[in-house]
Amino acid sequence: MKETIIFIHGLTGSKRAFRKQIDYFSHHFHTYAYDLLGHGEDRGRQTDFSLEGLTRQLEELYEREQIEKAHLCSISYGCYPSTIFAAKYKEKVSSLCYIGGHYNSDSPLTYVLQHFREHQYENYPEWLRRYSKDLFPKSGVVDPYALISSKLYYKYGLELHEDVLKKAIDHRLEYDLRSDLEKIEVPVLWVMGDHDNLFKSGITDLGEVVPHAVYKEIPHTGHAANMFRPYAFRRMYAEFLTGELKS
The contacts of residue 126 (CB under 8 Å, 6+ apart) are none
How confident is the model at residue 244, as a pLDDT? Answer: 87
> Is the pLDDT reported for residue 77 higher than 90?
yes
Dist CA 140 CA 166 (whole Å)? 28
Mind listing the pLDDT tens digit for each residue in 154-189?
999 999 999 999 999 999 999 999 999 999 999 999
User: Is-contact 82 96, C-beta < 8 A?
Assistant: yes
> Is the pLDDT reported for residue 98 higher than 80?
yes
SS3 of 149, please? helix
Query: Per-residue DSSP letters for 208-223?
Result: HHSTT-EEEEESS--S
Query: Residues of the chain with pLDDT > 70: what percent?
Result: 100
pLDDT interval class at 139 (50, 70, 90): confident
pLDDT interval class at 245 (50, 70, 90): confident
User: Is-contact 207 180, C-beta < 8 A?
Assistant: no
Dist CA 138 CA 195 (whole Å)? 8
Q: What is the mean pLDDT of residues 67-71?
A: 98
Q: What is the pTM of this model?
A: 0.96
